[in-house]
Each structure stands twice: as C-alpha cells, then as structure tokens.
Structure 1
C-alpha cells in the first residue's frame, strides 16, 4: 500500500526532481502539492508544479497556493543562477497552463482530514506555509498527520546560504523555529546528508536516453544547468546534490538512513540567523522525549543513486 504524501515545495530544479520522483514512485501516493515562494516567486512555483503534473497526466492532484514571502516580511532573494529564470533551468513551461485550478490554504485541512491517521507531510521548501498552518488553524490542526519529513538545517557543518545556515531555515527562520517546536515525529534531513546525495551527469545522461517517462526531455537540460551552478560554487564537485529527493526516498527506503534523536532549535535573528542547533555533547542535556526530532546523519548513497535510477527508469504514473 502506498504512503499518502502531502508535499510542500518551491520548484526549483531539485524540488522538481523530487516531484518527479514522487509521481513515479509506486509506493508514494501524492495527494496534494503546496507551492510557494523560495527558489522562484510563488507564481512560477505554481506554474512549474502544474507543468510537471500535466506531463505526468496527474492534473487531478490538487495544487495549493503557498506564501509569497517569509513571516518576517523581508524581501525574498531568488536564485536564477542556480535554478534558471523560470525555476527549471533553461526550460520555460508552456503558456497553456494559465488556467490551472489552484486551491486556497483551507485545502490543506481538507486533505489532512481526508487522510487522518495515514498522511505524511513532506516539506522540501521554505517552512512558511507549514508554520502558517499552526498559526492560523492552531497547534492541533495537524494532530492527525503521522509524521513530518523535512529537508532543512545543518549541524556542525557549513551552511549553503550563510556560513552556518541552510537555505530553507535561513530564508524564514521564524517559520523554521515554529515548525521545529510545534511539529512532532519529525524526520529532518540536513545538509549533513543531503550534500552527499550526489547524482552525476553520467546518470542523468543515461536517464535522458532511457527513461520511459514524459519527463525525459527535461532531465538533462534542467540538471546540466543546476550542475554548472554547483561547479562554480564548489569547484571539483563530480555531480550535483539533489537535496529534496532525500526525504521522499527515506519514506519508502527507511533502511538507507540512520538518525540521531535530538531536540532541534533554530536561531531567528542576527549573524546566526537560520542556524539549526542541537546538543551534540557526549552527555547532552535531557529533553522531554516528545520534543526530540530524528536528525538524519548517515545514509547509503550508493543505494540512493540506485533507487533514483530505478524509479526514473520505471515511470509508474497510475493513480495509487
């Protein structure tokens, strides 16, 4: 039986690969996508999501309009040098997607209620929308969600947007703090492991020639654009990390990952804005068990690549 997943995303190239992975994975039932600002403005994020769903023939999956900016009200910085002007590298979604139905925020509660006790929320973008659910609808609004799988944070390693902070936490640290305090049964995938989730050009070239899916024409141009940006930022890198695929793969392949239970906190302001904090001392301070999060710190990356290829080579699009 497939896992029911409500995905919060901001596509973005690696988000787009994560959406494609979820759509093709026979063990994931994607029941909705919340698309907000992040790698691109909200309007482009929604359009990219609609484009990917239309290619897959899965237009029945609801798209929910996310936030336009962070809770702080600060202006948003976008990253066209990494994700391209439209968010898909050199690819521009067709203008025929103008009239796609987009749901408002209340659709999130409808989905949570429909799949009560059997829904996983996966957040691979900024945490603004997830924080807003707690703020607007209350601390118990998501009590029937079974787990939260979140890409974010960096522990005892450099950040990727500041010296200490990872992009999702840095871009809205107020939201990140709210989510890490109020969500429960959280599985967190920080840069410690997602930086190692490297896919090479050789893998993408092979999939670009052999993937039996309608996504095939996107794979190489989108990845090549992303890879070039990473080569500029990290000279000598042999591929590019697809951070956002990691939490989705962890749902269906839990044996690939090892976790450390720690309470995670997030710095909201100052020079350490967005920094994720946990107590890694040999004898950490005791925390109530219900406040502990599961931080992914190790993974089998050979199997990560194998599973990634396997999913993109089978192309399963049937409604699950």
Structure 2
C-alpha cells in the first residue's frame, strides 16, 4: 500500500529531483505539492512544480501556492549560481505553463481532512508554510497527520549557509523553531546525513541513457549544473548531494537512516541564527517524551544510491 504524502518544496534542482523521485516511486502517493520561495522566488517555484507534474502527466496533483518570504519579513536571497536562473539549471520550463491552477492554504486543510490519520507531511524547503499553518489555524491543525519528515538542520557538522546553520533553518529561523516545537512525530534529516547522499556523474549518465521515464532529458543537464556549483564550493567532491531525496526515501526504506531521539530547538536570531540545537551529552537533560524528535545521524549511502537508481529505472512509470 502506498503512503499518502503532502510535499512542501521550493524546486531548485535538488527539490526537483526529490519531486521526480516521489512521482516515480510506486510506494508514494503524492496528494499535493506546496510550492513557495526558497531556492527560487515563489512564482518560479510554482512554475517548476507545474512543469514536472506536466511532464509526468500528473496534473491531477494539486499545486498549493506557498509563502513569498520568511516570517521575519526580511528580504530573500536566491541562489542562481547553484540552481540556475529559473531553478532547474539550464532548463527553462515552457511558457505554455503560465495558466496553471493554483490553490490557497485552505487546500492543505482539505487534504488533511481527506486523508485523516493516513498522511505524511514531507518538507524539503523552508519551513515558513508549516509555521504559518500553526499561526493561521492553531496548534491542533496537524493533529490528524501521521508524521513529519523534514530536511533541515546540522548537528555536529558545519552549516552550509553560515558557519552554524543549514539553509532551510537559516532562511526562516523563526518558522523552523515554531515547527520543531509544535509539530509531532518529526523525523529530521540534517546535513550530517544529507551531505553524504552523493549521486555521482556516472549514475546520472547511466540514468540519462536508460531511464524509461519522461524526466530523462532533464536528468543530465540539471545534475551537471548542480554538480559544477558543488565542485566550486567543495573542491574534490565526487558528486552532488541530493539532500531532499533522503526524507522521501526514508518513508519506504526506514532502515536507510539511523536516528537519535532528542528535543530540537532552533536559534532564531544573532550570529548563530538558524543553528539547530540538541543535547548530545552522554546523559542529556530529561525532556517530556512528546517533545523528542527523531534526528537522523547516519545513513546507508550504498542503499540510498541503489534505491535512487531503481526508482528512476522503473518501467511502470506513473501507475499509482
């Protein structure tokens, strides 16, 4: 039986591969995609999502417009050097996709009600939209959601946008802290796990020749652009980390990630803004059990690569 997933994302390249993976994985049933600012402005994020759904022939999946910026009201910095001017590296979604039906936040409530008690929320972008749901609808808005799978944070490793912080937590640190404190049954995938989720050019070259899916023409140009950016930032890196695929893969392959239960808080302001904090001492302070989050600490990267390839090589694409 497939897991029902409501996906929050901001497609740049990494998120786009996560969306492709989710659409191709027969064990995941994507019931909606919330697209907001992050790697690209909100409008571009929505357009990129629409393009991927169009390629997949999955226009039945509702697109929900997310936020245009963080709760702090600060201006947003985008990263065209990593994700390209339009978020898909050198690829430009066709202009014919401009008249896409986009839903507002009420659609999230509808989806939660429709899949009551049988819905996983996966968040691989900024956490603004999830925090806004708590602000708009109260602390119990997600009570019927089974679990939250979130890409964010960095524990015992450096950040990737500042010395201390990972980008999703840094870009809206207020939202990140709200979500980590108010959401329940959280599985968190920080940089200490996702940095190692490396896909190499050899894997992408193989898939770009053999994948039977309609995404095949995108794989190599998008990856090459992303990989070049990583080679500049991390000399000697052998591939590009697909941070956002890991949370989706962990739903259907729970053995891939090893977790530690700790309460996570996020520094909201100052020099350590966006830093994820947890108590890793041998005898951590006692916290109420309901406040503990499952922090991903290690991942089986060999299994990650094998599963990634298997999903992109499936012939019965799109059969849900």
TM-score band, normalised by the shorter chain?
Answer: over 0.9
For residues 138-217 of structure 1, the aligned pairs below 5 Å read 138-217=138-217
CA deviations on 1:198-233 (whole Å, 9 max, x unpaired) are 000000000000000110000000000000000000
Correspondence for 2:24: 24
Q: Distance in 2 between matches of 1:319 and 1:76?
A: 38
SS at structure 2 position matched to 1:282: coil
Correspondence for 1:117: 117
Indicate conservation of the 8 Å contact 1:23/1:316, yes or no. no
Q: Distance in 1 between matches of 2:257 and 2:84?
A: 31
Q: Distance in 2 between matches of 1:54 and 1:317?
A: 14
Give 1:299 shift.
1.0
Indicate conservation of the 8 Å contact 1:29/1:319, yes or no. no
Matched, 1:293 2:293: yes
- TM-score, length of structure 2 as denominator length: 0.99
Correspondence for 2:100: 100
For residues 228-267 of structure 1, the aligned pairs below 5 Å read 228-267=228-267
Residues 163-172 or 310-319, more deviating = 310-319
Give 1:319 shift.
5.0
CA deviations on 1:29-68 (whole Å, 9 max, x unpaired) are 0000000000000000000000000000000000000000
Give 1:318 shift.
3.3
CA deviations on 1:101-140 (whole Å, 9 max, x unpaired) are 0000100000000000000000000000000001101110
* RMSD, aligned α-carbons: 0.6
Correspondence for 1:2: 2
Figure out how many residues of one structure are paired with residues of the other and give that number: 320
Give 1:317 shift.
3.6
SS at structure 1 position matched to 2:165: coil
Indicate conservation of the 8 Å contact 2:26/2:319, yes or no. no
- Give the unaligned 5+ runs of structure 1: none
Give 1:315 shift.
4.8
Give 1:303 shift.
0.6
Correspondence for 2:54: 54
Indicate conservation of the 8 Å contact 2:56/2:318, yes or no. no
Indicate conservation of the 8 Å contact 1:195/1:243, yes or no. yes
SS at structure 2 position matched to 1:32: strand
SS at structure 1 position matched to 2:305: helix
Indicate conservation of the 8 Å contact 1:67/1:129, yes or no. yes
Structure 1 runs (4+) deviating above 4 angstroms are: none
CA deviations on 1:15-37 (whole Å, 9 max, x unpaired) are 00000000000000000000000
